[in-house]
């Protein structure tokens, strides 16, 4: 669906009422065109075409196909918790005009189009800004930050300024890169507590820029250990090197007795091969791969090797970090452009932490000590995504006891 048309279900249903009228001129024109005399094939084709058009006109006069389409949309959107989920499902949709993708989806979630009417005078950056405000403030869905990547550099233009860093890149979903093997410990998703309800995400304007006032807990500060290389064999070698490091190197936020297992789980958490193969089998396959001149030989030799060759390439470019500035320590893997000193935070609605970076700005006229951050990207932190609920890690205990703070992000 493209063009300057209000994308509402009502408008689509109304359009369906006129399909028969749209076809009628074609029927009239066809009646004026005679088949070639003596050409049996042309006469037969002409007759069949007239019959199909007549049948289509009659069916459209009796029913509205767009009504069925509207009912299907209404049924499908019932399972969508937010506009962010709608965008996530359609992240790969390509439109010549980026606005078309946004506006074509407005009718999928009640209230969006009423709050922000369709207006093609806006730029795509401005519409993305409006959508993010809707998701965060009117729907209250913080985990939209976990559904999409962010721009590595300042991007776009909203009201004469660069687009805020907290507006996600809605064309780059994390569906294929998010860490799915372990879920966040549910005790940390406690946004329904009374004190958290009183701390609402909101927006303020400072020096003409939109500042997001966001409530979350501090998880820790990052110290980059290494960045995964691009070659699969080199990735395997890097994983083995990390596993062979003394457990104490990774902090005491995790159980040192099964450190190798936790590292493997963390590095391969974007897949599910840990549920199929024992960790020792994975380690043996990594050893074989790291010493192989032709990685394809490994795929032919074992099932675990074949699976490993599918799960290692997504690690290329990801950053492995240790947690500092927290009592328990720990480690994690960054999806985005994580650097030394980035601050990891976790709100009561997120599915994994996000990284913030000091923007360098200080408002010396009012609060010179208050830091203004930029949003960087998503991260998986080992120790807060747990399977063993009966023995929570020290990091989970530390976070549960931490207070929510207000972070200013622009």
* 258 Cβ neighbours under 8 A, 6+ residues apart: none
190 part of a folded domain: no
pLDDT of 216 above 70: yes
Instruction: Tell me, yes or no, whether 350 lies in a domain.
Output: yes
Mean pLDDT of the chain: 79
pLDDT at 69 over 70: no
The tally of domains found in the chain comes to 2
Point out the domain boundary residue: 23, 39, 63: 63
Least confident of 1-10, 190-199, 240-249: 1-10
Q: What is the DSSP string of 278-319?
A: -HHHHHHHHHHHHT-S-HHHHHHH-HHHHHHHHHSGGGTT-E
Half-sphere exposure of 261 (CA within 13 A, CB side): 14
Q: Which two tokens stand for residue 198?
A: 């009183």
Domain range for residue 368? 218-409
Q: Report pLDDT for 265.
A: 81
Model pLDDT for residues 128-170, shown as the tens digit of each residue? 999 898 888 888 888 889 888 999 888 888 878 889 999 999 8
For 248-267, what is the mean pLDDT?
Answer: 73
Instruction: Give the per-residue pLDDT at 373.
Output: 96
For residue 375, the cross-strand partners are 356
pLDDT at 57: 73
DSSP state of 234: H
Residue 194, pLDDT score:
43
State the Cα–Cα distance between residues 184 and 382, nearest whole angstrom.
Answer: 10
Give the pLDDT band (50/70/90) at residue 2: very low
Q: In whole angstroms, what is the distance from residue 142 CA to residue 192 CA?
A: 13
Instruction: For residue range 332-376, list pLDDT tens digits in order.
Output: 899 768 999 999 999 988 888 999 999 998 887 777 888 999 999
Q: Is the pLDDT of residue 185 over 90?
A: no
Residues 147, 354: Cα–Cα separation, whole Å: 11
Reference 23, options 60, 65, 67; nearest CA is: 60
Could you tell me if residue 368 is inside a domain?
A: yes
| Helix, strand counts (H, E) of the chain | 16, 10
Of 45, 63, 81, the residue at which a domain comes to its end is 63
State residue 101's pLDDT score. 79
Cα 72 from chain centre: 24
Using alpha carbons, select from 211, 228, 172 the residue that is nearest to residue 378: 172
pLDDT band of residue 3 (cuts 50, 70, 90) is very low
CB 136 within 8 A of CB 212: yes
pLDDT in tens, 11-62: 556 666 666 676 677 667 766 666 676 777 778 887 888 888 777 777 767 7
The SS3 assignment for 150 reads: coil
The residue out of 46, 63, 80 marking a domain boundary is 63
Is 206 domain-assigned? no
Residue 92 lies in a domain: no
Min mean pLDDT across 187-196, 219-228, 321-330 is at: 187-196
**Does the structure show a pLDDT above 80 at 180?**
no
The set of long-range contacts for 258-263, using a CB threshold of 8 Å and a minimum separation of 24, is: 262/382, 263/239, 263/382
204 pLDDT band, cuts 50/70/90, is: confident
Burial class of residue 141, CB neighbours in 10 A (0-12, 13-18, 19+):
buried
Residue 385's pLDDT band (cuts 50, 70, 90): low
192 inside domain: no
Q: Is 41 a domain residue?
A: yes
Does residue 266 belong to any structural domain of this protein? yes
| Per-residue model confidence as pLDDT tens digits over 186-199 | 778 765 554 545 56
């Amino acid at each position: 669906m493209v063009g300057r048309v209000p994308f509402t279900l009502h408008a689509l249903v109304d359009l369906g009422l006129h399909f028969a009228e749209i076809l009628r001129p074609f029927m009239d024109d066809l009646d004026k065109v005679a088949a070639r005399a003596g050409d049996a094939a042309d006469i037969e084709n002409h007759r069949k075409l007239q019959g199909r058009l007549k049948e289509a006109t009659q069916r459209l006069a009796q029913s509205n196909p767009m009504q069925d389409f509207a009912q299907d949309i209404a049924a499908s959107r019932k399972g969508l918790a937010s506009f962010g989920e709608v965008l996530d499902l359609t992240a790969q949709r390509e439109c010549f005009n980026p606005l078309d993708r946004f506006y074509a989806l407005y009718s999928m979630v009640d209230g969006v189009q009423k709050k922000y009417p369709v207006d093609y005078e806006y730029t795509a950056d401005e519409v993305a800004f409006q959508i993010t405000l809707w998701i965060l403030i009117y729907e209250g869905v913080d985990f939209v930050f976990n559904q999409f990547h962010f721009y590595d550099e300042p991007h776009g233009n909203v009201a004469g300024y660069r687009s805020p860093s907290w507006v996600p890149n809605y064309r780059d979903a994390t569906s294929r890169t998010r860490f799915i093997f372990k879920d966040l410990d549910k005790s940390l998703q406690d946004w329904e507590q009374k004190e958290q309800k009183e701390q609402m995400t909101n927006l303020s304007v400072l020096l003409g820029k939109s500042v997001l006032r966001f409530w979350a807990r501090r998880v820790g500060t990052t110290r980059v250990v290494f960045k995964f290389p691009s070659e699969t064999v080199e990735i395997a070698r890097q994983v083995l090197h990390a596993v062979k490091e003394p457990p104490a190197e990774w902090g005491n936020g995790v159980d040192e007795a099964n450190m190798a297992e936790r590292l493997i789980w963390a590095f391969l958490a974007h897949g599910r091969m840990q549920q199929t193969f024992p960790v020792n089998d994975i380690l043996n396959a990594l050893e074989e791969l790291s010493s192989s001149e032709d990685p394809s030989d490994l795929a032919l030799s074992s099932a675990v090797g074949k699976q490993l060759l599918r799960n290692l390439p997504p690690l290329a470019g990801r950053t492995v970090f240790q947690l500092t500035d927290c009592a328990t320590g720990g480690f994690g893997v960054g999806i985005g452009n994580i650097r030394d000193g980035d601050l990891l935070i976790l709100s009561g609605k997120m599915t994994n932490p996000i990284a913030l970076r000091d923007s360098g700005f200080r408002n010396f006229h009012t609060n010179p000590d208050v830091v203004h951050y930029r949003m960087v990207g998503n991260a998986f932190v080992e120790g807060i995504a747990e399977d063993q609920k009966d023995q929570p890690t020290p990091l989970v205990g530390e976070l549960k006891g931490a207070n929510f703070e207000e972070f200013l992000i622009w």
